[in-house]
Amino acid sequence: MRPYSPNGFSRPGHVKEVTVRLLQRARSTIAALSLLTIAALIAGCGSSGGGGDTGAGVSPQPQVVSGVAATGAALAGGRVFLKDSSSVIRETSIDNDGFFSVSVADMKAPFVLKATRTVDGFTRTLFSFADAPGTANVNPFSSVALANAAGVDDPAVVFDNSDAAMLDKVRIAMPDSIGKLRSSLKPLLDDFGASSVDPIKDQIKADHEGLDAVFDNVRVVLTNGTLTIINVNTGAVIFTAAVKEKDFEHGRFTDNDDDVPKHGPRPAAPTGVTAIGGDAQVTIAWDPVANATSYDLFYATRSKVSEREDHGRGEREDHDDDVDAIRVRNVTSPFVLKPLAANTTYSLIVRAVAGGRRGAASAEVSATTSGTVPVLTVPAAPTGVTATGGNRRVTVNWSAVSGAASYNVYWSTATGVTIATGTKISDITNPPFVHKGLSDNSTYFYIVTAVNSAGESAASAQVDATTGVASTTTTSTTTSTTAGATTSTTAGGSTTSTAPTSTTSTTPTTSSTTAATTTSTTAGGGTTSTAPTTTSTTSTSTAPSTTTTTSTTTTTQVALSGAALYATNCANCHNALASSEFRGASVASINAGIAGVGSMRNSILATNGSALTQAQIAAISAALQ
């Protein structure tokens, strides 16, 4: 941030020094004229922009609020609006370095600030706060801190509806809000040497270092009262919290260190970038960047791609096709971008990524697609089709077919399934497909076709799979019968004793349902025990007896398929498992993503009818490793 440099003479003692020198030169013959000249010089030197001498030889401090407005890139060319406690508003422009300065003379502190910048019809808006004249930077963290200090979901509420009472409340709470925000994000800020930086009051430059480097590598999203911080290089959710929570006490910071962007030398901008238009496609190439681990491509049908990308909205800016540049991650040179519209000019940039840090944008290039649109033909039959049985489900997978808009799956419980005889499941956008709600221990047969506006392909080769059983129970039942001792006395007085006898019967059985063990006593005093199985073993004794039954049960669960769960719940938005943007994601980061992004949560609920269990999430995480 630029230091204030007042105009005019303001060095302490300067007025006195000038006066002494002039007096030494005065002659008695022109004493009156000299004194008048001295008085005039004193008046001129003592002012510093009209402030006058304070008596100590130091000019008064200017009454301004100044700072830097940036989101990683400066909001150059934008406007800053400052509103005081009496609702008086002043505005100023933002220069190319993001710097602004607003005079607050005759205004009443504290102040709330709003910075805006419009690019191609999209306006980026941030907020901040100043308790007195001085520094007040405007950035994503200042917006979050303002909402937290005011106890509102949206910082715009403070600017639009502020009064003296609300701004005084913010003034009191703001230091604590800044402290709690820094504490909650300490692992992220530590990596960039910014953990002790006050995002509002400290000097910040839009120079891609320190806190500005943090903003280069994360996207701060504040939607419906939920704060989400996302790694722009990987899409991983780093932190989520309710912004109104006083201490962000329910916030979740990822426990996966790989989710957090790392500080290091910023990759250079790619050079030698070229783009060549073709039939509904553009081929882009560039020279390698030292130490780059991957590259991201951004494109749009309008110019100034880097500006729209830097100031894009939220965590899904690559889906806002009508406003922001579209992002394609992990591209390699040369890269063919398709399908595109015919006879259309596209602007493109490339960024290198190294050590988790995103580099500067390349020079923008453009290319125009040709007017010849390839003739659409019926796609080829899918190949590489496989079927894998699971717990009352089968996962059918296949290789993507060029030119296919969707796929149909036909199934049957009898072999020889065809398009005519199979049960059709249509409009499957991407493989794999998970067929749920099936019977245990049953074999299902499948074929797959590819579809586009030209028609449906021939059927794939048939595949089949057998579903598993939810659980298998093995029961071993042991029955012991001991006859009581018998004593008899003969007519002659002799006594005969018969020793107790014991009988043991063990019957191992298998059943998916185990009934309770029953014991009954016969009229003659015998005991009958029925083991809890589909086959009963009975031991009967006519003598009084004792029966002991012991059952041991072992249950074996069918293993969860993380790949199948990912295919059902994640692949539509985050690519197939092998190319997923969340490779290596931990259980905690998956949980944070589901909890923090409403569209993700709603999608999962709509697909499954219920939330994923922690065991299922653990299986998905394991599949992503």
The last residue of one of the domains, among 528, 557, 586, is 557
Q: State the burial class of residue 216 (Cβ atoms within 10 Å of its Cβ: 0-12, 13-18, 19+).
A: buried
Q: Per the structure block, which two tokens stand in for 35?
A: 């004194």
Regarding whether 352 and 396 lie in a shared domain, the answer is: no
Instruction: Give the span between the Cα atoms of 67 and 98, in whole angstroms.
Output: 8
Regarding whether 93 and 36 lie in a shared domain, the answer is: no
Q: Which range, 18-27, 35-44, 206-215, 488-497, has the best average confidence (pLDDT)?
A: 206-215
- 60 pLDDT above the threshold of 50: yes
Q: What is the pLDDT of residue 8?
A: 33
- CB contact at 8 A, 222 and 145: no
Domain membership of residue 374 (yes or no) is no
Q: How confident is the model at residue 469 (pLDDT cuts 50, 70, 90)?
A: low
Regarding whether 460 and 478 lie in a shared domain, the answer is: no
Q: What is the pLDDT of residue 175?
A: 93
Regarding whether 303 and 158 lie in a shared domain, the answer is: no
- Using alpha carbons, select from 120, 108, 113 the residue that is nearest to residue 92: 113
Regarding whether 157 and 128 lie in a shared domain, the answer is: yes
Q: How confident is the model at residue 99 (pLDDT cuts 50, 70, 90)?
A: very high
Across the range 386-394, mean pLDDT stands at: 91
Q: What is the pLDDT of residue 61?
A: 64
> What stretch of H or E contains 346?
strand 345-354
Q: How confident is the model at residue 306 (pLDDT cuts 50, 70, 90)?
A: low
Q: What is the pLDDT of residue 199?
A: 93
CA distances from 110 to 91, 136, 142, 280 (A): 16, 11, 15, 56
- The partner residues of 95 in beta bridges, in order of sequence, read none
Domain membership of residue 375 (yes or no) is no
CA distances from 1 to 83, 101, 134, 352 (A): 21, 11, 11, 28
Regarding whether 475 and 545 lie in a shared domain, the answer is: yes
Comparison of pLDDT for 22 and 421, the residue scoring more: 421
- 527 pLDDT above the threshold of 80: no
Domain membership of residue 380 (yes or no) is no
Domain total in the chain: 6
- The partner residues of 557 in beta bridges, in order of sequence, read 471
Domain membership of residue 593 (yes or no) is yes
Domain membership of residue 373 (yes or no) is no
The last residue of one of the domains, among 30, 46, 61, is 61
- 460 pLDDT above the threshold of 90: yes
In the DSSP assignment, the letter for residue 251 is -
Q: What is the pLDDT of residue 581?
A: 67
Regarding whether 141 and 53 lie in a shared domain, the answer is: no
Q: What is the pLDDT of residue 481?
A: 43
- CB contact at 8 A, 280 and 374: yes
Regarding whether 121 and 75 lie in a shared domain, the answer is: yes
Regarding whether 481 and 462 lie in a shared domain, the answer is: no
- 275 pLDDT above the threshold of 60: yes
Q: What is the pLDDT of residue 305?
A: 66
- 558 pLDDT above the threshold of 70: no
Tens-place pLDDT, residues 144-161: 999 999 999 999 999 999
Domain membership of residue 51 (yes or no) is yes
Regarding whether 592 and 456 lie in a shared domain, the answer is: no
Domain membership of residue 264 (yes or no) is no
Q: What is the pLDDT of residue 158?
A: 94
CATH number for the domain including 302? 2.60.40.10
**Domain range enclosing 551:** 471-557
Q: Which range, 124-138, 259-273, 527-541, has the best average confidence (pLDDT)?
A: 124-138
Comparison of pLDDT for 197 and 533, the residue scoring more: 197
Q: How confident is the model at residue 304 (pLDDT cuts 50, 70, 90)?
A: low
What are the φ/ψ torsions at residue 367 (nearest 5 degrees)?
A: -155, 150
Regarding whether 392 and 434 lie in a shared domain, the answer is: yes
- CB contact at 8 A, 351 and 294: no
Domain membership of residue 160 (yes or no) is yes
- 350 pLDDT above the threshold of 90: yes
Mean pLDDT of the chain: 74
Comparison of pLDDT for 47 and 294, the residue scoring more: 294
The last residue of one of the domains, among 212, 229, 259, is 259
Q: What is the pLDDT of residue 497?
A: 44
CA atoms within 13 A on the CB side of 471: 10
Comparison of pLDDT for 458 and 525, the residue scoring more: 458
Regarding whether 206 and 76 lie in a shared domain, the answer is: yes
